[in-house]
Amino acid sequence: MLTRLGYKEIEVSFPSASQTDFDFTQRLVQTPGIVPDDVWLQVLSPCRKELIRRTVDSLKGAKQAILHLYLATSPCFQQIVFNMNDEETLALAVECTKYARSITKDDPEQAGTHWHYEFSPETFSDSKPEFALEVCEAVKAAWEPTVEDPIIFNLPATVEMATPNVYADQIEFFCRNITEREKICVSLHPHNDRGCAVAAAELAQMAGADRVEGTLFGNGERTGNVDLVTLGLNLYTQGVHPKIDFSDLKSIIDMVETCNKIPIHPRAPYGGQLVVCAFSGSHQDAIKKGFQKRKQEDATNESPWQIPYLPLDPQDIGRTYEAIIRVNSQSGKGGVAWIIQRQLELDLPRGLQIAFSRIVQKETDSLGRELLPTEITKLFEKAYHLKRNPRFGLIDYDIVADRSKTPEPPQEGKTNKTSNLRRIFKGVLEIDGQEHKIQGSGNGAISSLADALRGLGIELDVVDYNEHTIGTNKDAKAATYIGCVVAGGSQKVWGVGIHHDVVQASLIALLSAASSFLSSRPSTPIPFRPKRSNTLEIPSIEGSPLRTGESADKQNGTHVEKLEAMVSGEQADVKSAGV
Ligand SMILES: CC(=O)SCCNC(=O)CCNC(=O)[C@H](O)C(C)(C)COP(=O)(O)OP(=O)(O)OC[C@H]1O[C@@H](n2cnc3c(N)ncnc32)[C@H](O)[C@@H]1OP(=O)(O)O
Ligand SMILES: CC(C)C(=O)C(=O)O
């Protein structure tokens, strides 16, 4: 996996530690096709000759290899672990380097392997910089690197013991003062004891280093080694491609978790399961607006990424947009609307977002947990009767011009005279399981159905209308959202209709709102009851429409008719008028 991701120098083992490490190294070397030609295997050994020998033996047959020796240079380790002074430390480093050279690049039997040498003054971060430099100068002289085959000086923060700027200063000191800089690769090896390994690595690179040693997701002794995923993706978010393929982060996580048997923390940068998720309402709202703006601007993959709260495009690391917004009791309308948009392709108007988000809030509060997108979708479908309207079914209908009425004069600025013709809705509804004929009149389909419903005692004034297309070409459908206020009150109910036919979508939406209205007052009976049969007596079309009273008519008619006139006039007016 590491080679597939793009890593070129991989420290694979400590071969002198055990037969397991030795055999593993040999298996990598001996099995054709495991190690690509451009990848260097790296192995680690302390400065002990018998262990160096064993380490080199483990690489027999390798095309290219990095032999990495380490020896502590800090007073603490010199005194406590080794009981050695500076001279003895320096002498051991040089002696082991010469020995390593004699059994690798100077050994004719090793001609098949291209050897590089790496030396780490261990505990560099706690060493006197001048002494670490002196040891490295001596090691360099012993190895004799070239510009083509530089020596790697790996300068570890074996224990992170100061702020990242201090480590960066130590690295800068080394880079400025080591001789023959062109023959040296300065490598970093930050640990994370103070939680600043990533910052230390980034600052130290800016201070002159060429290379970083770390691990995927920071696994390593104590608090771990620097996390290469964070380092790489930090570069990526600065516009510098790390040349490591993080496009399927999930599969990397799976492999790392399986191998290490340590789970990646859900809040781990980039990789954590929750890091590109937003639960908070204000975050969700901002993210949703960000995506909307990107869509409006026809942004492509090449367009600069600028979405609030998302430092990178989640798709770039294999995360889906669906997973970004998650809904719990701290979520608001924006998040809920996002889910409905992604799941059902419905672009809810603001008022409906607010209304539905209250329903979702109630549910999350009562369940005391996050709601899954599928649960939110089901809640929406139920609340707005997308699958089945429990009270009303539209069996059949016709909308005809009401020639008995004189057309109203055209609205100011409008020339289309037909838009001012009154309409009559004649239809058959299934109401609570029984079919009834109803009739009403108005400026158009919605207002004439609203008028017909009024005859049933359902006094709804349509105050909000939005519609858009779902899909394209012949599969396209209209989605219609109708907001109504209950006449004489402030209660608002919403209905949603989806149909291939835009008029029918509107009628379904109004019936959905009517059903919500009835459900909100379960004790309110539909005023008519069959007299002789299940059929409502409807006066002739020429007669006056079913109305409950002139004053209510006027009041109810105001919004609907204004709206209807606009709907049948220019669609664009609907949105710009804000209804
Ligand atoms: C800084 C790092 O993290 S480097 C990675 C460290 N990784 C490991 O240590 C894992 C593999 N290590 C091992 O398997 C074993 O420690 C071995 C094979 C290296 C040595 O095992 P043992 O000989 O049993 O020694 P043990 O582990 O008890 O102690 C380490 C010895 O190495 C010495 N030592 C430690 N570091 C170094 C070094 N860089 N160079 C030379 N000697 C060293 C210690 O002083 C100690 O020596 P002592 O026995 O004379 O006191
Ligand atoms: C071997 C060295 C580089 C090491 O692991 C450390 O000092 O942290």
Give residue-wise pLDDT tens across range 297-309.
999 988 999 999 9
CB burial readout 449-473, b (16+ within 10 A) else e: bbbbbbbbebbbbbbbbbbeeeeee
* Ligand nearest to the backbone CA of 188: 2
Rg, C-alpha atoms of the chain: 37
What is the position in ligand 2's atom list of the atom closest to the CA of 123?
A: 7
Nearest CA to ligand 2 atom 7: 158
Q: Helix or strand or coil: residue 375?
A: helix
Q: Which pLDDT value is given to residue 47?
A: 98
- The stretch 556-563 carries a mean pLDDT of 44
State the distance from the centre of ligand 1 to the C-alpha of 48, rounded, in angstroms: 9
Q: Phi, psi at residue 64, to the nearest 5°?
A: -145, 140
Nearest CA to ligand 2 atom 6: 158
pLDDT tens per residue, range 173-200: 999 999 999 999 999 999 999 999 999 9
Nearest CA to ligand 1 atom 13: 17
Q: Which tokens in the block code for residue 30?
A: 């001996």
Q: What torsion do the CA atoms of 29, 32, 36, 39 make, to the nearest 10 degrees?
A: 0
Distance CA 216, CA 8 (A): 14
15 lines ligand 2 (CB under 6 A): no
Q: Which residues touch 106 (CB under 8 Å, ≥6 apart)?
A: none
- The stretch 286-306 carries a mean pLDDT of 93
Q: Which residue in 38, 42, 37, 35 sits closest to 11, CA to CA?
A: 42
Q: Which pLDDT value is given to residue 533?
A: 34
Q: Which residue in 333, 317, 336, 229 sits closest to 276, CA to CA?
A: 317
pLDDT at position 553 over 90: no
| Other beta carbons within 10 Å of 208 | 15
Mean of the per-residue pLDDT values of the chain: 88
State the distance from the centre of ligand 2 to the C-alpha of 189, rounded, in angstroms: 7
228-237 helix and 197-206 helix, angle to the nearest 10 degrees: 60
State the distance from the centre of ligand 1 to the C-alpha of 29, rounded, in angstroms: 25
Q: Which pLDDT value is given to residue 416?
A: 53
Q: Which pLDDT value is given to residue 488?
A: 77
Pocket of ligand 1 from Cβ distances under 6 Å: 14, 16-17, 44, 46-48, 51, 70-71, 81-82, 122, 158
Q: Are 64 and 33 in contact (CB under 8 A)?
A: no
Q: Which pLDDT value is given to residue 422?
A: 87
Q: Which pLDDT value is given to residue 172?
A: 98
Tell me the pLDDT band of 463, cut-offs 50, 70 and 90: very high
Q: How far is CA 496 from each of CA 449, 467, 517, rounded to the nearest angstrom?
A: 15, 10, 13
Q: Are 319 and 249 in contact (CB under 8 A)?
A: yes
Q: Helix or strand or coil: residue 42?
A: strand
Q: Which residues touch 148 (CB under 8 Å, ≥6 apart)?
A: none
Q: Which tokens in the block code for residue 295?
A: 């869509």
State the distance from the centre of ligand 2 to the C-alpha of 77, rounded, in angstroms: 13
List, in sequence order, every beta strand (DSSP E) within 168-323: 184-190, 211-212
Counting ligand 2 atoms within 8 A of each CB, the residue from 77, 118, 189 with the most, and so the one to mutate, is 189
- The stretch 438-449 carries a mean pLDDT of 93
Q: Which pLDDT value is given to residue 246?
A: 98
**What does 72-91 look like in DSSP terms, one character per residue?**
E-SHHHIIIII---HHHHHH
* Ligand nearest to the backbone CA of 81: 1
- The stretch 242-248 carries a mean pLDDT of 97
- The stretch 560-574 carries a mean pLDDT of 41
pLDDT tens per residue, range 500-521: 999 999 999 999 999 998 887 7
pLDDT at position 355 over 90: yes
pLDDT at position 569 over 90: no
Nearest CA to ligand 2 atom 5: 158
Which strands, in side-by-side order, build the sheet including 151-157? 9-13, 40-46, 64-72, 114-122, 151-157, 184-190, 211-212
Q: Which pLDDT value is given to residue 573?
A: 30
Span of 82-91, 120-129, 281-290 with lowest mean pLDDT: 281-290
Nearest CA to ligand 2 atom 1: 70
Nearest CA to ligand 1 atom 10: 17
- The stretch 552-576 carries a mean pLDDT of 38
426 lines ligand 2 (CB under 6 A): no
pLDDT at position 269 over 70: yes
- The stretch 437-466 carries a mean pLDDT of 92
Q: Helix or strand or coil: residue 152?
A: strand
pLDDT at position 550 over 80: no
Q: How far is CA 428 from each of CA 52, 327, 454, 541, rounded to the nearest angstrom?
A: 92, 40, 15, 15
Nearest CA to ligand 1 atom 43: 46
Residue that wins the pLDDT comparison between 295 and 552 = 295
Tell me the pLDDT band of 474, cut-offs 50, 70 and 90: confident
Q: What's the one-letter identity of residue 310?
A: L
pLDDT at position 543 over 70: no
Span of 152-156, 240-244, 556-560 with lowest mean pLDDT: 556-560
68 lines ligand 2 (CB under 6 A): no
What is the position in ligand 2's atom list of the atom closest to the CA of 124?
A: 7
Q: Are 118 and 187 in contact (CB under 8 A)?
A: yes
Tell me the pLDDT band of 527, cut-offs 50, 70 and 90: low
Q: Helix or strand or coil: residue 552?
A: helix
Distance CA 81, CA 541 (A): 104
Q: Which pLDDT value is given to residue 408?
A: 61
pLDDT at position 117 over 90: yes
Tell me the pLDDT band of 546, cut-offs 50, 70 and 90: very low
Return the bridge partners of 151, or none. Answer: 184
State the distance from the centre of ligand 1 to the C-alpha of 164, rounded, in angstroms: 28
What is the position in ligand 1's atom list of the atom closest to the CA of 72?
A: 39
